[in-house]
Amino acid sequence: MNLLGFQLECLWIRTQIRREAAEFIEEMAERLNHNIPQHRTNGKVHLRQQEDRIACLHLFGL
């Protein structure tokens, strides 16, 4: 293999690595974006449930 062929192969390998890295980062970002609303919603639901329990305790004088 001559120098030009070697350089082209190295360039192709770097391109493949960058593409795979970009796909990995995109997948992780999608997972993170998908999970954030769930955690926020779950936290709000949990907080609301806790507030409801406190309100019931006050209602029944406990």
Tens-digit pLDDT profile for residues 27-46? 888 888 777 655 555 556 56
> CA Rg, the chain, in Å?
27
- 47 vs 16: CA distance, rounded Å: 46
Question: Phi, psi at residue 2, to the nearest 5°?
Answer: -85, 175
**Which residue is listed with tokens 């391109």?**
15
Mean residue pLDDT across the chain: 76
pTM over 0.85: no
- Of residues 57 and 23, more confidence is placed in 23
Residue percentage of the chain with pLDDT more than 90: 24
Q: How confident is the model at residue 11 (pLDDT cuts 50, 70, 90)?
A: very high
Judge whether 38 and 45 are in contact, CB under 8 Å.
no
In sequence order, which ranges of 1-62 are alpha helices (DSSP H)?
3-59
Is 90 exceeded by the pLDDT of residue 15?
yes
